[in-house]
Structure 1
Amino acid sequence: MCHKGRVSLDTKCTLQDLGTTRGKPNCARKQTNCMEILIVFLGDIPANLIKITSKSQRPIAPCARPVFLYTLNCRSARNKTSSICDLIISNDIDLLAITETWLGDSDQCVISELLPDGYKFIHKARSNGRSGGVALVYKSIMDVKAVSREDTFTHFEYLECIINFTRLCIIYRPPPSKKNQLRNSVFFYEWSHFLDSVVVDHRELIITGDLNFHLDNVQDPEGVKFLRILDDHGLVQHVKESTHSGGHILDVVIVRDSSSILYGEPCVTDPGLYDKNGNPAGDHLAICSKLTLSKPARERKSIKFRKLRDIVTSDLSDSIRSSFELQKGENSVEKSVNLYNTTLKNILDSLAPVQSKLITIRPDCPWYTSELRDAKRERRKAERQMRRTDLTVHKEIFRSHCTQVSKLAIHCKRSYYSSKIVEMGKDQKQLYHLTNRLMGAKSDVILLATVSLTGRSS
């Protein structure tokens, strides 16, 4: 029995379970609000009270069409263009954050090879040396603007973009060595300064990339310090699986601790990268994150066409014969030509009128064959079996399928363009257009520093 100013032993134990009595609170349930305490005493919720959900516990609404963000350290995109292009098309990726591109400002041909139709590319190369570099591949229908900063950092590379009022930061931190003379103390100073500037932004924040810390090792002082700095800034790292062949978590997906931008936890998957010879390449796994952003509809365009196959040959012959018999007579050459064109156009309009329709523009890969599609289907089956059993034999079977698919993809691509060149023969115009396409003359590459930090176009 409870008296005024007193709490019974049973009630006190109950309040301790809820983390409300004096003393050390129960951390696992410290977010419990006063409504649960009222339920203990009253047994039911009064009619004039409602339950308030805190921001950190805000439920995530079901997302019918989430935006897919992939994070990948490709360790040189120069010899993996075909596999990166295949990764984008196979998974219908909306945003692909790439670290260690090893690309320069003059590598237009390489960029063209890794970009499928309907995608654009933002890249920031390393100022010195051939390695490093960060980039973002995204669908052209998405509203993406690059962000420029006045301050510069010496111990990590970064690329910032604004996507649907969301700030996306792609980071790569090279591991310290005697050659680069980088120091962790300087990195943590610059990293704290960087976070100070981005967390004050009112927009949603996503930081992803390769930080080269063993975040799975609680005994690693550098990794622990990195996570502590994130916690001090109200940020959380969500990748929980190994992202490197060495068995450590090196790649990250970081958001605010109160954010609901992520739809579920990020998952780690094998990107199936291979080099120009079809051999497995790369030592990092890819991270797939589903974002609760409004996914734009695919780009559509209007086309005009005639159903020429529906024309009956006899009807066409009769129409031409009757039309020209009615128009017999002596005319000048110019008038006869105009009469000929007008008559045939009118006949064509009557038998096969011009029609228009809207079509959806989808990423296109002209060298993609049915044989390659079947091989990739078998690879997916092997991957599902590997994930289900986690046996070494099934891992070897999966890697064998990956090698088979990669070599087949390279063969299909070479065969397609070789046959196109043979078909064109001596047609210099067609050869010129094909060469321009292969060399990347029409690729959309956006230079950095197109938008200021305030979001205004520069």
Structure 2
Amino acid sequence: MDVTISQGSSSVRVFNIYRPPPSSENKLTQSMFLEDFGTFLETISAIPGEIILLGDFNCHVNDADDRFARAFQDLLDAVGLKQHVNGATHKSGHTLDLMISRDTSNVITGVVEIIPEIFSDHYPVGCYLNLQPPKAPSKTMKYRKIREIDTTEFMRDIESSSLYTNPAPDLEELVNQYETVMGMLLDKHAPLVEKSVIVRPHCPWYTDELRLAKQKKRQAERKYTKSKLEIDKQIYADHSKSYKTMLETAKRDHHRSKIEDCDSKELFRVVDKLCNPAAELAFPDHNSEDELAEKFATYFDEKIQKIRNDLDSADQPKKSSATGGSCVSSFETFRELSSDDIRKIIMDSPTKSCPLDPIPTDLFKTCVESLLL
């Protein structure tokens, strides 16, 4: 595996290698590996920048009498590479898992640590890299603290505003007045707040119980790493196994529940979301949400107008239809809506809001009595 890790102007190219041990089945030999590996080293030694080779080489570099290990080391020396791991990385006592960099490089800093593993016959090898870690992605959010609004004070401000004391006589002017006054009151009681948040993956199945289990596992790991006692090792193993089981169960139960609770139409959406991660929505270029809404409105308006023009210009045979009787009903008068009628319409409407609304719908319903006066 060939991976390039970049951050700013610095980067390191990491090659992860696994060498299968020779056997009668794979018909591989040590000389075949040395020849291929030598060609590989000649290629990567010409690569500019930092490089790291790591993986399971199945080579006993800890054995000074091993001919294969000496030939392997000679290849590294020939191209100016250095092997950093000292100590057993396998339960049999051999150094098989290696970490290699240029002998003049300082990309690998500090002590290369071999961590006794409890689940595998190979031990993890850790080190520090002389690279700046990438910053977590973040985005700026704008929001209002709507729930902290004192609705009594908000309603009092509505009743003392020009919307209440001096309403506009014209309908269009009244609508503009309503938007202006309510927008000003909302800015007063719940001013717009900007906050930078770190974007994290959405894991609906990750519960507080899982978070607590992970904390206990980490605590047991730190205690075992510090004490090296067998009892702490077993406790860490138990916590790790328990957390892994809980994690798998939580994921399985979450997805099973979602699938069982949806109908045939929703099932396709759920499966598609699981198999195909959602892509970012691509909106037309815009400088504000108002401009974006206008672009959508213009698009659909032009689309409907085009359909009408096409229908008008199409050659269609004229059809005559006999109509029997005549309509004698007519609307001559309309009943004026009362405050109770308007209140019922407002309260029965869905509590949904849009960023273009002067105030959120739930706040509007709370203050409906002041607006009906």
TM-score (norm 1): 0.51
Structure 2 runs not aligned, ≥5 long:
281-373
Aligned equivalents of 1:245, 1:329: Cα separation in 2: 86
The one-letter code sitting in structure 2 at the alignment partner of 1:264 is G
Query: Are residues 182 and 216 of structure 1, via their aligned partners in 2, closer, same or farther at CA, if it must alter by over 3 Å?
Result: same
Q: Does 1:325 align with 2:161?
A: no
Which residue number in structure 2 is paired with residue 411 of structure 1? Answer: 249
Query: Are residues 296 and 322 of structure 1, via their aligned partners in 2, closer, same or farther at CA, if it must alter by over 3 Å?
Result: same
Aligned equivalents of 2:222, 2:196: Cα separation in 1: 37
Q: Does 1:312 align with 2:150?
A: yes
1:166 to 5, 8, 12: 12
How many residues in Structure 1 have an aligned counterpart in Structure 2?
279
Q: Secondary structure at the match of 2:153?
A: helix
Contact 1:239–1:265 at 8 Å: present in 2 too?
A: no
Q: Secondary structure at the match of 2:111?
A: coil
The one-letter code sitting in structure 1 at the alignment partner of 2:164 is E
Q: Does 1:184 align with 2:22?
A: no
Contact 1:436–1:442 at 8 Å: present in 2 too?
A: no
Aligned equivalents of 1:283, 1:137: Cα separation in 2: 29
Contact 1:267–1:287 at 8 Å: present in 2 too?
A: yes
RMSD between aligned residues: 3.8
Percent identical pairs in the alignment equals 33
Q: Does 1:243 align with 2:89?
A: yes
Which residue number in structure 1 is paired with residue 45 of structure 2? Answer: 199
Structure 1 position 290, deviation (Å): 0.6
The more displaced of 260-269 and 293-302 is 293-302
Contact 2:2–2:13 at 8 Å: present in 1 too?
A: no
Q: Secondary structure at the match of 1:378?
A: helix
Q: Does 1:256 align with 2:102?
A: yes
Contact 2:87–2:114 at 8 Å: present in 1 too?
A: yes
Structure 1 position 319, deviation (Å): 3.2
Structure 1 position 389, deviation (Å): 5.1
Higher Rg: 2
Structure 1 position 338, deviation (Å): 5.7
TM-score (norm 2): 0.61
Query: Are residues 372 and 336 of structure 1, via their aligned partners in 2, closer, same or farther at CA, if it must alter by over 3 Å?
Result: same
Cα deviation 1:287-313 (Å, max 9, x = unaligned): 222111233433332211112122111
Q: Secondary structure at the match of 2:89?
A: coil
Contact 1:173–1:211 at 8 Å: present in 2 too?
A: yes
Structure 1 position 186, deviation (Å): 2.1
The more displaced of 207-216 and 369-378 is 369-378
Contact 2:139–2:198 at 8 Å: present in 1 too?
A: yes
The one-letter code sitting in structure 2 at the alignment partner of 1:439 is C
Query: Are residues 341 and 359 of structure 1, via their aligned partners in 2, closer, same or farther at CA, if it must alter by over 3 Å?
Result: same
Higher relative contact order (CA 8 A, sep 6+): 1
1:439 to 275, 281, 284: 275
Query: Are residues 316 and 391 of structure 1, via their aligned partners in 2, closer, same or farther at CA, if it must alter by over 3 Å?
Result: closer
Contact 1:171–1:207 at 8 Å: present in 2 too?
A: yes
Aligned equivalents of 1:178, 1:391: Cα separation in 2: 41
Structure 1 position 267, deviation (Å): 1.7
The one-letter code sitting in structure 2 at the alignment partner of 1:373 is R
Structure 1 position 175, deviation (Å): 2.8
Higher helix proportion: 2
Aligned equivalents of 1:183, 1:267: Cα separation in 2: 31
Q: Does 1:299 align with 2:146?
A: no
Aligned equivalents of 2:147, 2:4: Cα separation in 1: 41
Contact 2:149–2:190 at 8 Å: present in 1 too?
A: yes
Contact 2:4–2:12 at 8 Å: present in 1 too?
A: no
Which residue number in structure 2 is paired with residue 357 of structure 1? Answer: 195
Which residue number in structure 1 is paired with residue 70 of structure 2? Answer: 224
Contact 1:299–1:361 at 8 Å: present in 2 too?
A: yes
Q: Secondary structure at the match of 1:236?
A: strand
Which residue number in structure 2 is paired with residue 234 of structure 1? Answer: 80
Structure 1 position 256, deviation (Å): 1.7
Structure 1 position 262, deviation (Å): 1.3
Query: Are residues 234 and 181 of structure 1, via their aligned partners in 2, closer, same or farther at CA, if it must alter by over 3 Å?
Result: same
Aligned equivalents of 1:413, 1:137: Cα separation in 2: 31
Structure 1 runs not aligned, ≥5 long:
1-133, 145-162, 273-279, 445-458
| Matches for 1:16-415 after TM superposition, within 5 Å | 134=1, 136=3, 142-143=6-7, 164-269=10-115, 283-323=121-161, 324-326=163-165, 328=167, 340-362=178-200, 365-388=203-226, 390-415=228-253
Structure 1 position 200, deviation (Å): 3.2
Q: Secondary structure at the match of 2:206?
A: coil
Q: Secondary structure at the match of 1:359?
A: strand
Structure 1 position 391, deviation (Å): 4.6
